[in-house]
Amino acid sequence: MPLGDCAVYIEFSAALDLEVNSAVQRLATMVHGRALPWIRDVVPALGGLAIHFDPDEPSVHGDAFAAALNVVSECLKEGLPKPGDVLRTIDVPVCYEPEFALDLAEVAAMSKVTVEQAIALHAASDFRVLMIGFAPGHPYIGGLDGKLSVPRRATPRAIVPAGSVAIANDQTVVYPYAISGGWSIIGRTPLQVFDAERQEPSLFAAGDRVRFKPITREEFQKLSK
Amino acid sequence: MSIRILRPGLLMTVQDLGRHGHQHVGLCPGGAMDPMSLKLANALVKNDVGAAALELTVLGPDLEFERDTLIALVGAEFETSFPINRPVLVAKGSHISISRAARGARGYLAVAGGIAVDPVLGSRSTYLPGEFGGIEGRVLKRGDVIPLAEDSEKLSLERFGALKHKRGNSVRWHVPTITVPDREPIVLHALEGEHFGDFDANMQRAFFDTIWRVTPDSNRMGYRLAGPVLTRSKKDEILSAPTCLGTVQVPANGVPIALMADHQTTGGYPRIAEIASADVPRLAQIAPGGTLHFARCGLDMAAELRKDMRERIEGVLHGISGEYGK
């Protein structure tokens, strides 16, 4: 499906499917790795990937769409790397204390578990980054334990503090900046999710495995420095 | 070498052609809203076309120059104390004054040697939502001192000296503005978006028949368009998917948003249309309150529009380089 005249979106699934999502990420890595001069950006999303290109680059001979589809089918034919070969694990320290976990008590009550159990369920879930989007470095992370599945909040907060860890449905997010958001906040990480001055600006990449590690207030203060 | 801001105008930032290759981590390319005018402004002072310049919005600034500086202001037709759309040598210690844009919304003030802020991720562009790039990632304010290249004065005098057809501190010619509209509503060519078919025939017709008005809360991230409320017939949830510069999406409130330079890289709203890439810089020249309508186009037409825009720009760039004695 053309995404205007300078990009194409190749969709593999219209609904969220974790296997498709994982394949999309490996495919995106492969396409990106080809470093073709006419490709400006390769963006893996939940159910497909976008290729942003220069439609007038000479090597695509006026048909960048055909060239993009061709690269994708070549990569698929060649075979995607196995999930295990490219998996990175990101450990994210999270302080679940009440001053950071604005909605944790409410989430625990809705899920009919104690606050301690809710923390344990979040920290024990096996998470994968499904997509980066919404804001620079903002990850949509899937794999939340079904017991903690709560809907989005009826009224979004105008400002969610940077580093807030929040949940909704079966996903969790980490807010890179102080922005508006409608998810339930259950903790905060002292890590900087996106830093343009860093060698790798984004803490997360699509496909990463994520583990949340509970930390104390003191550890949070120490790591914040 | 520097420029001091005596009065900042409405929304002045440092911009170049943006930072590419980071959309997979959610960072859009950003950069000048009207890259065509940026390129012309840079060419007029003999910079690389992608050098960093000041992007002015609707109301311009008053500026004081520390040294002799060759400048050019291209884009919206601002009322100014100096001639626009041509190179001008500003004497050291003097002030220039730029007030309201009579036509168009954005102007690019280029200086010989470029604005010398540190690049972030390969670009000097200010990215306001992320608070980086340009000067402290923010809108410029009164009292700011904008750093210029160390050899800016030398370059300015050399380059001005090389110009043919001088008159006083400027020249006897000017470049045409390629992206600033003569009249409104402007026509923007648009391709059908992925979810165009989710809107019924009446809604599709309304999209192309309406004269849309750009709302006051439009900004570098997106332009909201006031007109009939568009409702999608299909009610199923849309999976968040990549967006693009020029994507027109329709949130639940039915008010379409055209995504501009600092847009989000993904979105979960239905995408009704995609503005032809060659037409996006012309949309950037529409101020809040301005009007536009959409004309249906296909990929072949979009390619023609790009070719036409490219040829016009190259023609003007060629003319400018001729004036510099080449």
Summarize pLDDT for A190-218 with one digit per residue, the tens: 999 999 999 999 999 999 999 999 999 99
Q: In this structure, is residue B324 part of a structural domain?
A: no
CA distance A182 to A102: 12
- A82 pLDDT exceeds 90? no
Contact between chains at A196 and B120 (C-beta distance less than 8 A): yes
The pTM of this model reads 0.94
Same domain, residue pair B249 and B142:
no
Give the three-class secondary structure for B315: helix
A184 within 8 A of A54, measured Cβ to Cβ:
no
Contact between chains at B264 and A135 (C-beta distance less than 8 A): yes
Beta carbons within 8 Å of B104's beta carbon, 6+ residues apart: B75, B76, B77, B177, B179, B180, B181, B285, B287
CB-closest option in A45, A56, A202 to B242: A45
Q: Chain A: residue nearest B275 by CA?
A: A4
Beta carbons within 8 Å of B119's beta carbon, 6+ residues apart: none
Structure tokens at B229: 């409320």
Nearest to A14 by CA among B250, B243, B236: B236
CA distance B163 to B268: 52
Same domain, residue pair B137 and B195:
no
Contact between chains at B26 and A56 (C-beta distance less than 8 A): no
Same domain, residue pair A99 and A205:
yes
Same domain, residue pair A12 and A47:
yes
Contact between chains at B244 and A16 (C-beta distance less than 8 A): no
Q: A206 CB near a chain B CB, below 8 Å? A: yes
Q: What is the CA radius of gyration of chain B?
A: 20
Nearest to B40 by CA among B309, B287, B303, B221: B309
Burial degree of B93 (CB within 10 A; 0-12, 13-18, 19+):
exposed
CA distance B28 to A122: 31
pLDDT in tens, chain B (326 residues): 899 999 999 999 999 999 999 999 999 999 999 999 999 999 999 999 999 999 999 999 999 999 999 999 999 999 999 999 999 999 999 999 999 999 999 999 999 999 999 999 999 999 999 999 999 999 999 999 999 999 999 999 999 999 999 999 999 999 999 999 999 999 999 999 999 999 999 999 999 999 999 999 999 999 999 999 999 998 777 888 999 999 999 998 999 999 999 999 998 899 999 999 999 999 999 999 999 999 999 999 999 999 999 999 999 999 999 999 85
pLDDT score recorded for residue B326: 59
Same domain, residue pair A71 and A94:
no
Contact between chains at B299 and A2 (C-beta distance less than 8 A): yes
pLDDT score recorded for residue A151: 87
- The CATH number of the domain holding residue B254 is 2.40.100.10
Same domain, residue pair A172 and A207:
yes
Structure tokens at A156: 């979004």
Q: Which residues of chain B are within 8 Å of residue A3 when distances are taken between CB atoms?
A: 194, 242-244, 247, 271, 274
Same domain, residue pair B227 and B278:
yes
Number of domains in chain A: 2
Q: Is the dihedral of CA B252, B255, B259, B264 positive or negative?
A: negative
Same domain, residue pair A51 and A22:
yes
Q: Which residues of chain A are within 8 Å of residue B243 when distances are taken between CB atoms?
A: 3
Considering A17-21, A175-179, A204-208, B54-58, the range whose residues carry the highest mean pLDDT is B54-58
Structure tokens at A101: 């976990």
Nearest to B198 by CA among B230, B246, B226: B230
> Per the omega criterion (within 30 degrees of 0), is the bond before B251 cis?
no
- The CATH number of the domain holding residue A132 is 2.40.100.10
Contact between chains at B264 and A134 (C-beta distance less than 8 A): yes
Same domain, residue pair B220 and B119:
no
Same domain, residue pair A26 and A79:
yes
Same domain, residue pair A11 and A91:
no
Q: A17 CB near a chain B CB, below 8 Å? A: no
- The CATH number of the domain holding residue A45 is 3.30.1360.40
Q: For the CA atoms of B151, B152, B154, B160, what is the dihedral angle to 10 degrees?
A: 150
Same domain, residue pair A102 and A213:
yes
A132 within 8 A of A215, measured Cβ to Cβ:
no
Same domain, residue pair B120 and B266:
no
CB-closest option in B239, B242, B244 to A16: B239
Q: In this structure, is residue B225 part of a structural domain?
A: yes
Same domain, residue pair A123 and A220:
yes
Distance from the Cα of B198 to chain A's closest Cα (Å) equals 14
How confident is the model over A59-88, as a mean pLDDT? 90
Give the three-class secondary structure for B241: strand
Tokens 């997010």 sit on residue: A173
Structure tokens at A188: 């905060």
Contact between chains at B191 and A2 (C-beta distance less than 8 A): yes
The DSSP element (H or E) to which B275 belongs, if any, is strand B271-275
pLDDT score recorded for residue B1: 86
- A84 pLDDT exceeds 80? no
Q: In this structure, is residue A21 part of a structural domain?
A: yes
Q: Chain A: residue nearest B277 by CA?
A: A5
A46 within 8 A of A130, measured Cβ to Cβ:
yes
Range of the domain at B19: 2-179
- A154 pLDDT exceeds 90? no
A107 within 8 A of A186, measured Cβ to Cβ:
yes
Nearest to B67 by CA among B2, B17, B138: B2
Number of domains in chain B: 2
Hey, which residues 21-40 in chain A have their CB within 8 Å of chain B? 28, 32, 40
Q: In this structure, is residue A135 part of a structural domain?
A: yes
CA distance A96 to A169: 19
Q: In this structure, is residue A212 part of a structural domain?
A: yes
Q: In this structure, is residue A215 part of a structural domain?
A: yes
Q: Which residues of chain B are within 8 Å of residue A194 when distances are taken between CB atoms?
A: 25-27, 130
Confidence of residue A47 (pLDDT cuts 50, 70, 90): very high
pLDDT score recorded for residue A87: 81
Range of the domain at A182: 87-224
